[in-house]
Structure 1
Amino acid sequence: MDRCDDIQVKELNKRASGHAFEVILSPSNTDPKEFPLSPLKKKETSLDEIKKKLDAAAERRKSQCAEVLKQLAEKQDHVKEVLQKAMEESCNFQKTAQEKLNQKMETYEENCTVRKAALNEKFKEKDKKLEEVKANKKAMQGREN
Structure 2
Amino acid sequence: MENFGDIQVKELNKRACGQAFEVILSPSTPEAKCVPLSPLKKKTTSLEEIKRKLEAAEDRRKSYEADVLKQLAEKREHGKEVVQKALEEDCNLRKVAQEKLTQKMEANKENRTARMAALNEKFKEKDKKLEEVRKNKEAMKEGEN
TM class by shorter-chain length?
Answer: 0.5 to 0.7
Which AA in structure 2 matches 1:110? E
CA 131–72 in structure 1, closer or farther in 2 if over 3 Å, else same: same
Q: TM-score, normalised by structure 1?
A: 0.68
Gapped regions of structure 1 (runs ≥ 5): 9-27, 29-37
1:126 matched to which residue of 2? Answer: 126
Aligned to 1:56: 56
Percent identity of equivalent pairs: 62
Distance in 1 separating the partners of 2:16 and 2:53: 52
What amino acid is aligned across from residue 71 of structure 2 in structure 1? Q
Distance 1:57 1:43 in 2: 21
* Counterpart in the other structure of 1:84: 84
Once the two structures are TM-superposed, the CA of residue 127 in structure 1 deviates from its matched residue by 0.6
Letter in 1 for 2:123: F
Cα deviations by residue, 1:4-39 (Å, 9 ceiling, x for unpaired) = 72539xxxxxxxxxxxxxxxxxxx9xxxxxxxxx78
- 1:5 aligned residue (3, 7, 15): 15
* Match in the other structure for 2:136: 136
Answering whether residue 120 of structure 2 is matched by residue 110 of structure 1, we say no
- The count of aligned residue pairs is 116
Per the alignment, do residues 73 and 44 of structure 1 end up closer, same or farther by CA in structure 2, a change over 3 Å counting?
Answer: same
Q: Offset at 1:40?
A: 4.5
One-letter amino acid of the counterpart of residue 117, structure 1: A
Instruction: State the secondary structure of the residue aligned to 2:141.
Output: helix
Shift of 1:46: 0.9
TM-superposed deviation, 1:43: 0.8
Shift in alpha-carbon separation, 1:60–1:91, aligned structure 2, 3 A: same
Distance in 1 (CA, whole Å) between partners of 2:44 and 2:111 is 96
Moved beyond 3 Å, runs of 4+ = 38-42
Q: Structure 2-normalised TM-score?
A: 0.68
Counterpart AA for 1:122: K
- Decide whether aligned partners of structure 1 residues 111 and 78 sit closer, same or farther in structure 2, where only a CA change above 3 A counts: same
